[in-house]
Amino acid sequence: MNKKVEIQDLGLKDYKDTWDYQEKLFQEILEIKSQNRKDETNAKQTPNYLLFVEHPHVYTLGKSGHMENMLLNEGQLAAKGATFYKINRGGDITYHGPGQIVGYPIFDLDNFFTDIHKYLRYLEEAIIMTLAEYGLKGERSEGETGVWLDVGTPFARKICAMGVRASRWVTMHGFALNVNTDLGYFDNIIPCGIRGKAVASLNVELGLKKVDEEEVKSKIVKNLQNLFSLDFL
């Protein structure tokens, strides 16, 4: 069981280019697993990756999503400098853009534990632990994947969206934490298909103009390491 994880910070990168890159790493791991089943005596360890990235303005719709949750037409999207993709993760519609920390763990869960529910809860917990370091109480909302603030009140708001894909226990896609995000872009969708719930960003919650994103990433890495017993390369 290989618990080593290679972190790659891709900086600001186009969504489709990043998706293609995820697919490349994902397929390479699946191929190693396929070869290992054919030749168990010469089995190779499967690698694990954690990609950090920031995307230009983009809306993505998961495979179980509903198109009516996108409130803009093609012309309006173009006017806002945004793009749109239907993609192969779970979940409904969300927004990615500057000031948001997006994390894509491409893990072979055979190296950790084969339980997608537990995997999602660990991703949520890493974000909850990170928010706690800033004095915020992140919470789960029953039946709604991701991390929220003020759950069970009229002021419930989502600060981190999640959606993953898995095949033969290999994961892709991941989480999107609003850190210095322009929340106005969420007005153009029904976020995650959930009506009547607001969104939040770390800088707004802390009353700051800007939060150090590198510091936030380092906290996320530390918390993922503790939860998954990771060994970063």
Residue 96 in marked binding region: yes
Residue 103 in marked binding region: no
Residue 90 in marked binding region: yes
Residue 162 in marked binding region: yes
Residue 62 in marked binding region: no
Residue 145 in marked binding region: no
Q: What is the token pair recorded at 137?
A: 């109480």
Distances (CA, A) of 230 to 5, 57, 97, 233: 7, 31, 28, 9
Active site includes 192?
Answer: yes
Q: 58-61 and 83-86 as β-strands: parallel, antiparallel, unpaired?
A: parallel
The single residue of 101, 127, 131, 192 carrying the catalytic annotation is 192
Residue 143 in marked binding region: no
Residue 93 in marked binding region: yes
Residue 161 in marked binding region: yes
Residue 166 in marked binding region: no
Residue 163 in marked binding region: yes
Residue 94 in marked binding region: yes
Residue 57 in marked binding region: no
Distance CA(217)–CA(9), nearest Å, equals: 10
Strand, coil or helix: 153: coil
- Binding region for substrate: 89-96, 161-163, 174-176
Catalytic residue set: 192
- Binding-site residues, in ranges, read 89-96, 161-163, 174-176
